[in-house]
């Protein structure tokens, strides 16, 4: 569970282990403010019957007692007490527990709730680079209705966790609340907990006094957010009520409301913090759903844009960060994530998102405010990003644990035909495409703003890059672009999904685009559930790997839009169809970060095999369905005429898409697309919607 800066990861029954080192807990600013929490009834932890987290932000656990011998010698039968705990995050962890006596006679209960707070940094908890766990045992202080854990960190920040109960516990024994109750038949006892973390007395505000009031306020915040988003309704009820709704709720859960605006954090459990690349792509995917996410994302990234050279954090002037942490180890500078800048692609992606956001919104304030940041990012691409001045941005050896600095950042994601890691520095295929799209997008806006000279310069640079790109990256024998150029300027000859990003960005030559489409849809690349990250014919292929044969939903949504931009609608729809089918088949229709790339067997009604440590929910996976809907509709902004262009191509399994309250150019737009046989009509929208007459890229 996540709400703003709070993240809760527990056992299936909602408990947290006591007396042992565990990565589970209630986290705030990357710190484990609650590390242990046990509920015992007559000395026994109740057994889990079911857990329900379908509401996304509210968890409900149905439990039952285990057999116990009471003080008077009577045996309390198992499953004779109903135990229900309901919890949510709102300025802290709020929980209500109700215990119902289902016995025919009275029962004497001793209810114990034991807590612990380690105040360990998440990186120390997870053993990052062998960081020792720090700090002394937390002293416990009595406060009204409860206890307070506290620790003064090595960073001079005092962190506290207040645990309070209503009604007050009958007794407090160290870290344990005790309630003594006698329940008659069908009688229930209910109590409420508030667990509130603070840093130097600030951070999460005091929890509202009333549980229901706090839950109503949380519900209201969700409703308010969703009212500000475009609503997509299709002829597929399961798509609407499962995948679209779940993805919307997951994105809302992942959002932090920073002082710069909304920002979608990367994923639960360990990456619910700002990531440059992930945030940019999620914001791009959701531009036609909620453009405020893009505005907030751009402003936060610009706030932390690099200003100096720092080899430890890999900061450079103009560079956009990779990951921002706010815990003790980051504050002390013992880890580089303050923020850490070790990524090659976030900087051109920042400019891409900036240009696309202005095109969608017509926001001149944003244009003037962030244009200097965009220009600094372009300068980084042309200088620090291209250290050897060969016209390509690249990355070399890094002092961090990340060997590779593209979105496929695992250590073995870039390998030569002998399965050895490629020589660095490496120029990734998709990173060059991002630079091309960044310069083209910025040039379009300069031209509309009247600066034709700057527009012409950027277009000439983009054209020169495209010419070099075709010369150096094209693999004629494969009909595809190479994954990268290695440190010897030789092609890394892997066929990968990265080549699809060249179509997304428009850098690919049209005649070669057709061959790339055919190559990515070939059996060694297309698993039946999506395009694999790596061809099954390459030496390092493994369908169970992180980046060498798995399928990533966000990657496929980008590839599908790239197909659309070159006019390959049938192939794009094939990808979209299997992504939607896969998404609906995962538990609660929650799309994971990735899944295994095994070939789909159409003889069985199954779903893709899980990648076991995938983030769920994950930002750019939740954003997948909204970019896919945009691709089906062929939505593109037309800033010059301040309208949205629609070029729909609905597949046979979808007859209708209705869009309501799409926000563009200070207006809300509603329209309907309907397919009847081979004819697709667009109605509504007034002057703000027009059928696209422009051809695909030629």
pLDDT tens for 40-87 read 999 999 999 999 877 778 999 999 999 988 877 888 999 999 999 999
Residues 656 and 680: their CA atoms lie apart, in Å, by 9
Range picked from 41-55, 188-202, 204-218, 525-539 for highest mean pLDDT: 525-539
Distances (CA, A) of 21 to 25, 124, 498: 11, 11, 39
Largest CA distance in the chain: 91
Q: Do 197 and 241 sit in the same domain of this protein?
A: no
- Spatial contact of 524 and 548, defined as CB atoms under 8 Å apart: no
pLDDT value at residue 570: 97
How many domains does the chain divide into?
A: 2
Give the CA angle between residues 553, 558, 560 to the nearest 5°: 90
Q: Do 213 and 334 sit in the same domain of this protein?
A: no
Residue 344 in domain: yes
Q: Do 560 and 610 sit in the same domain of this protein?
A: yes
Place of tokens 């890394």: 492
Mean pLDDT of 608-627: 94
pLDDT value at residue 298: 98
What the block records as the tokens of 252 is 């809302």
Residues 514 and 276: their CA atoms lie apart, in Å, by 31
Q: Do 280 and 167 sit in the same domain of this protein?
A: no
Q: Do 115 and 214 sit in the same domain of this protein?
A: yes
Q: Do 110 and 232 sit in the same domain of this protein?
A: no
Q: What are phi and psi of 651, to 5 degrees?
A: -75, 170
pLDDT at 387 over 60: yes
> Which residue pairs, CB below 8 angstroms and at least 24 apart, start in 447-454?
448/639, 448/640, 449/367
Percent of all residues in the chain with a pLDDT value above 70, rounded to a whole number: 97
pLDDT at 559 over 90: yes
pLDDT value at residue 206: 56
pLDDT value at residue 74: 83
Residue 680 in domain: no
Residue of 401 and 378 predicted with greater confidence: 378
Residues 507 and 60: their CA atoms lie apart, in Å, by 49
pLDDT at 207 over 70: no
Q: What is the CATH number of the domain that holds 445?
A: 1.50.10.10
Where on the phi/psi map is residue 215: left (φ > 0), alpha (ψ -120 to 50), or beta? alpha
Mean of per-residue pLDDT scores for the chain: 94
pLDDT value at residue 54: 72
Residues 483 and 534: their CA atoms lie apart, in Å, by 10
From the DSSP assignment, how many helices (H) and strands (E) are in the chain?
Answer: 17, 33
Q: Do 13 and 141 sit in the same domain of this protein?
A: yes
pLDDT per position as a tens digit, 10-21 = 999 999 999 988
> Each residue of 614-646: b (16+ CB within 10 Å) or e?
bbbbbbbbbbbbbbbbbbbbbbbbbbeeebbbb
pLDDT value at residue 644: 97
Q: Which residues contact 235 (CB under 8 A, 6 or more apart)?
A: 654, 655, 656, 657
Mean pLDDT of 572-584: 97
Residue 404 in domain: yes
Q: Do 177 and 86 sit in the same domain of this protein?
A: yes
Residues 69 and 658: their CA atoms lie apart, in Å, by 61
Q: What is the CATH number of the domain that holds 164?
A: 2.70.98
pLDDT per position as a tens digit, 294-308 = 999 999 999 999 999
Mean pLDDT of 670-682: 93
Q: Do 175 and 314 sit in the same domain of this protein?
A: no
pLDDT value at residue 107: 94
Residues 597 and 578: their CA atoms lie apart, in Å, by 13
pLDDT per position as a tens digit, 244-287 = 999 999 999 999 999 999 999 999 988 999 999 999 999 999 99
pLDDT value at residue 693: 78
Residue 691 in domain: no
The three-state secondary structure class of 171 is strand
Radius of gyration of the chain (CA): 27
Residue 146: give the domain boundaries.
2-220
- Spatial contact of 279 and 28, defined as CB atoms under 8 Å apart: no
First to last CA, the chain: 47
Of 125-139, 269-283, 358-372, 630-644, the range with the lowest mean pLDDT is: 125-139
pLDDT value at residue 698: 54
pLDDT value at residue 57: 87
Distances (CA, A) of 649 to 513, 536, 606, 659, 679: 19, 31, 27, 15, 10
The three-state secondary structure class of 341 is coil
- Domain finish residue from 596, 614, 638: 638
Q: What is the dihedral of CA 518, 520, 521, 526, to 10 degrees?
A: 160
Reported in sequence order, the residue ranges of 537-693 that DSSP labels E, i.e. its strands, are 636-638, 643-646, 656-664, 667-676, 679-684, 689-691
Q: Do 183 and 233 sit in the same domain of this protein?
A: no
Give the DSSP letter string of 295-316. HHHHHHHHHT---S-BTTTTB-
pLDDT value at residue 678: 85
Q: What are phi and psi of 74, to 5 degrees?
A: -75, 155
pLDDT at 692 over 90: no
Residue 688 in domain: no
Cα 385 versus chain centre, distance: 26
pLDDT at 695 over 80: no
Mean pLDDT of 604-612: 88
Residue 399 in domain: yes
pLDDT at 134 over 90: no
Which residue from 32, 38, 39 is spatially nearest to 149, judged by alpha carbons?
32
pLDDT value at residue 653: 94
Residue 646 in domain: no
Residue 455 in domain: yes
> Which residue pairs, CB below 8 angstroms and at least 24 apart, start in 604-611?
607/582, 608/527, 608/529, 608/551, 608/582, 609/543, 609/544, 611/544, 611/546, 611/550
Place of tokens 């120390």: 124
Percent of all residues in the chain with a pLDDT value above 90, rounded to a whole number: 89
Residues 624 and 626: their CA atoms lie apart, in Å, by 6
Mean pLDDT of 331-335: 94
pLDDT at 573 over 60: yes
pLDDT per position as a tens digit, 485-519 = 999 999 999 999 999 999 999 999 999 999 999 99
- Spatial contact of 649 and 577, defined as CB atoms under 8 Å apart: no
Residues 518 and 499: their CA atoms lie apart, in Å, by 12
Q: Do 465 and 508 sit in the same domain of this protein?
A: yes
Residues 243 and 584: their CA atoms lie apart, in Å, by 6
For strands 643-646 and 188-199, give the pairing.
Answer: unpaired
- Domain finish residue from 171, 202, 220: 220
- Domain finish residue from 187, 220, 253: 220
Q: Do 157 and 250 sit in the same domain of this protein?
A: no
pLDDT value at residue 136: 61
- Spatial contact of 375 and 351, defined as CB atoms under 8 Å apart: no
């Amino acid at each position: 569970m996540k709400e703003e800066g709070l993240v809760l990861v527990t056992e299936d029954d909602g408990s947290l282990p006591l007396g042992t080192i565990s990565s589970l807990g209630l986290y705030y600013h990357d710190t484990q403010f609650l590390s242990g929490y046990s509920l015992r009834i007559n000395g026994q932890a109740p057994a889990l019957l079911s857990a329900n987290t379908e509401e996304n932000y509210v968890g409900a656990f149905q439990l039952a007692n285990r057999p116990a011998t009471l003080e008077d010698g009577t045996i309390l039968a198992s499953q004779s007490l109903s135990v229900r705990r309901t919890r949510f995050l709102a300025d802290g962890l709020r929980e209500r527990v109700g215990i119902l006596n289902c016995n025919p006679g009275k029962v004497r209960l001793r209810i114990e709730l034991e807590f612990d707070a380690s105040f360990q940094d998440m990186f120390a908890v997870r053993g990052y680079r062998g960081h020792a766990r720090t700090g002394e045992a937390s002293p416990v202080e009595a406060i009204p209705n409860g206890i307070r854990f506290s620790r003064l960190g090595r960073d001079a920040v005092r962190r506290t966790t207040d645990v309070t109960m209503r009604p007050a516990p009958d007794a407090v024994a160290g870290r344990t609340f005790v309630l003594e109750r006698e329940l008659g038949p069908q009688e229930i006892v209910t109590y409420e907990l508030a667990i509130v973390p603070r840093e130097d007395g600030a951070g999460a505000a005091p929890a509202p006094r009333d549980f229901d009031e706090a839950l109503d306020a949380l519900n209201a915040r969700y409703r308010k957010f969703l009212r500000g988003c475009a609503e997509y309704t299709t002829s597929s009820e399961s798509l609407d009520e499962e995948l679209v709704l779940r993805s919307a709720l997951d994105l809302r859960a992942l959002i932090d409301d920073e002082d710069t605006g909304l920002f979608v954090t990367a994923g639960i459990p360990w990456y619910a913090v700002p990531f440059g690349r992930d945030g940019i792509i999620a914001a791009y995917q959701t531009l036609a759903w909620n453009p405020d996410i893009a505005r907030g994302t751009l402003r936060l990234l610009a706030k932390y844009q690099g200003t100096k050279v720092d080899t430890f954090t890999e900061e450079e002037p103009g560079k956009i960060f990779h990951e921002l942490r706010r815990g003790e180890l980051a504050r002390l500078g013992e880890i580089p994530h303050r923020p850490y800048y070790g990524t090659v692609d976030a900087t051109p992606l920042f400019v891409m998102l900036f240009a696309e956001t202005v095109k969608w919104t017509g926001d001149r304030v944003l244009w003037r405010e962030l244009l200097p940041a965009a220009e600094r990012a372009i300068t980084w691409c042309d200088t620090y990003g291209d250290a050897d001045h060969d016209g390509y941005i690249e990355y070399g050896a890094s002092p961090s644990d990340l060997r590779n600095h593209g979105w496929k950042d695992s250590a073995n994601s870039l390998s030569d035909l002998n399965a050895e890691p490629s020589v660095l520095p490496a120029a990734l295929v998709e990173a060059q495409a991002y630079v091309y799209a960044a310069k083209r997008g910025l040039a379009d806006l300069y031209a509309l703003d009247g600066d034709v000279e700057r527009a012409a310069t950027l277009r000439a640079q983009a054209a020169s890059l495209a010419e070099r790109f075709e010369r150096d990256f094209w693999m004629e024998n494969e009909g595809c672009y190479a994954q990268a150029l290695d440190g010897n300027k030789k092609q890394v000859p892997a066929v990968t999904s990265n080549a699809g990003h060249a179509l997304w960005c428009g850098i690919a030559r049209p005649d070669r685009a057709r061959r790339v489409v055919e190559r990515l849809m070939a059996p060694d690349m297309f698993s039946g559930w999506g395009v694999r990250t790596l061809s099954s014919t390459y030496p390092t292929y493994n369908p169970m790997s992180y980046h060498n044969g798995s399928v990533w939903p966000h990657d496929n949504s980008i590839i599908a839009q790239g197909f659309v931009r070159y006019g390959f609608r049938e192939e794009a729809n094939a990808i979209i169809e299997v992504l939607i089918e896969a998404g609906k088949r995962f538990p609660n229709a929650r799309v994971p970060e990735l899944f295994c790339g095994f070939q789909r067997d159409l003889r069985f009604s199954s779903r893709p095999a899980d990648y076991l440590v995938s983030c769920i929910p994950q930002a750019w996976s939740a954003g997948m369905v909204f970019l896919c809907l945009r691709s089906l509709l062929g939505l593109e902004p037309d800033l010059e005429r301040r309208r949205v262009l629609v070029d729909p191509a609905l597949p046979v399994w979808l007859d209708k898409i209705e869009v309501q309250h799409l926000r563009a150019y200070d207006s809300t737009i509603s329209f309907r697309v309907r397919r009847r046989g081979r004819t697709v009509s667009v109605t509504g929208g007034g002057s703000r919607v027009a059928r696209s007459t422009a051809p695909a890229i030629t």
